[in-house]
Amino acid sequence: MMNHGTQLDPRRAADKIIARLAETDHIEAPIIERVNTVLDAYTQEQDNVIPLQTQREIMRHVLSRLGTCGDPGPQRSSHLKPVSDNNEDRHKVVSERTSTLAKQISDELQERIDFSLLGAKPPATQRSEIRDLIAEICSEQRLEINRSEREAIAQMILDDMLGLGPLEALLADESITDIMINGCDHVYIERHGALERTSVKFRDNSQIMNVVNRIVAEVGRRIDESSPMVDARLKDGSRVHVVIPPLAIDGPTVTIRRFPQQQITLSDLVSFGSMSNQMADFLNLAARMRLNILISGGTGSGKTTLLNAMSQKIPPTERLVTIEDAAELRLQIPHVVRLETRPESMEGRGEVTMRSLVRNALRMRPDRIILGEVRGDEVIDLLQAMNTGHEGSMCTLHANSPRDALTRVENMVAMTGLKMPTDLIRSQLRDAVNLIIQISRMRDGRRRVTSISELVGLSGGVVTMQDLFSFEFDRKTTQARISGQYTYSGFRPLFADRAAEFGLDAELTQILRR
């Protein structure tokens, strides 16, 4: 019996469930069904006080250790299997039958449940009571379903009522990095850098909208015909972007960017092949030396992941303020103040822009300011902050090269309407920014830091840069596989004198001599 005052360790629970699975080897059923059965029994033994989120964590650990995301049975894993010519019809039949029965039972549940009373109870109790009612309805209506089908239907209803519907199956798979919903019948995922279509389907567009409204309501935002686009986030930090009709012609379009649950370090990025050991040590030093850094790259290239990894090297004695449209940064230091923009209300009031947050952040005694993504006029205040004592600030922006990144910053300043001479803008850029890190997602699906460049001065009114590190392609590169090596240019950075101020000159010299 679990003590209500202690928290269950999902890993230890997974060990116990895996041990009990051996007792079910004689049962002819998909592994995912057997896991769910053992998990349900284990939950009941704990007086049904295991939260739904913890149960999901246990399931992830079990499936990970079994080396599978589940068999294509009628449980959650059936939704995870990509559509193919061999299994599409079978999945379609199972999905249609379970979906029809689930809707029938769900309609009956709506009549029987007092949601005001149910909502006041713990998630585990809600789950247990709904399961009991489902079993009761199946018995009363004498539905011709077997036990595995009933479990699948119960899971679908629970996901729909207490979770995010069909998305729950995809969110349980940690190997998925992106989820893309293009209407109720087309759901795609990205796994290991490759896109694939899944057999997940929503009943209709209204079910998608129910899920969307649940997501945006959690972060105090809204979406309707007058405001058909919204940025939000899930509880696990995943970023969500939604576009609905009339802008989205084929139905609601939802894009979910997921981030690793475990903290990614610079060493991890080296092991992933995203940079060399020498580059990782250099970036480690750059964070400790309080250099101002722009991280540039395309969509999904890994800018946020790299920024999170670099934050681990910031001294824990510093105070950081992060500013984002949708909070997704998970900086790895203790003293962080997280700010998030707010859209205007239905009455057209209450909007809080990124620029206003940057200005307020300057009054909060920050040592550094971190912008999740620079998009507009807030870039002016950021550059001024970098030039007035907030060294070590960082931000990300979308650009295809370091030179494009500088051009984008200039354009963002110009779009504010301020009549600043181009030479003045470039002079501020040169003084404010020390490094531009360019990162790209290449066609083989791997993210690589393609260059680390230093801003060195102005020549003929143009900001000049020198590449300190770069990724060079070699002749072994093919259409399917990219090959190359990370190289150091041999230039000693101009900020080497700054390293001496921090007592890091010898360490910098050692890194560059490798």
Give the alpha-carbon dihedral of 239, 243, 249, 252, to 10 degrees.
70
Q: CATH topology for 266-512? A: Rossmann fold (3.40.50)
In this prediction the pTM is: 0.69
β-pair type (447-459, 462-473): antiparallel
Q: What pLDDT does 255 receive?
A: 94
- Tokens describing residue 476: 């072994």
Report the length, in residues, of the chain.
Answer: 514
| β-strand partners of 451 | 438, 470
Q: What pLDDT does 145 receive?
A: 65
CA distance 370 to 8: 35
Q: What pLDDT does 436 receive?
A: 96
Q: State the DSSP string of 4-40.
A: TTS---HHHHHHHHHHHHGGGTTS-S-HHHHHHHHHH
Q: What pLDDT does 53 receive?
A: 67
Q: Are 55 and 27 in contact (CB under 8 A)?
A: no
| Amino acid present at 55 | Q
Q: Are 264 and 309 in contact (CB under 8 A)?
A: yes
E strands, 434-476, are 435-441, 447-459, 462-473
Which residues of the chain, if any, have pLDDT below 70?
A: 1-7, 24-33, 47-49, 51-53, 64-98, 115-116, 118-119, 144-149, 346, 348, 480
Q: CATH topology for 164-261? A: Beta-Lactamase (3.30.450)
Edge-to-edge strand ranges of the sheet holding 336-340: 336-340, 320-324, 368-371, 394-398, 293-297, 435-441, 447-459, 462-473, 484-488
CA quadruple 288, 294, 296, 300: dihedral sign: positive
Residues of the chain with CATH 3.30.450.370: 164-261
Residue 488 parent element (H or E): strand 484-488
Q: b vs e for 133-167, b when ≥16 Cβ sit within 10 Å of the residue's Cβ? A: bbeebbeeeeeebeebbbbbbbbbbbbbbebbbbb
Structure confidence by residue, pLDDT tens digits, 400-447: 999 999 999 998 888 877 778 888 888 889 989 999 999 998 888 889
Residues of the chain with CATH 3.40.50.300: 266-512
10 Å Cβ neighbour count for 398? 16
Structure confidence by residue, pLDDT tens digits, 195-252: 889 888 888 888 899 889 988 888 888 888 888 998 888 888 888 999 999 999 889 9
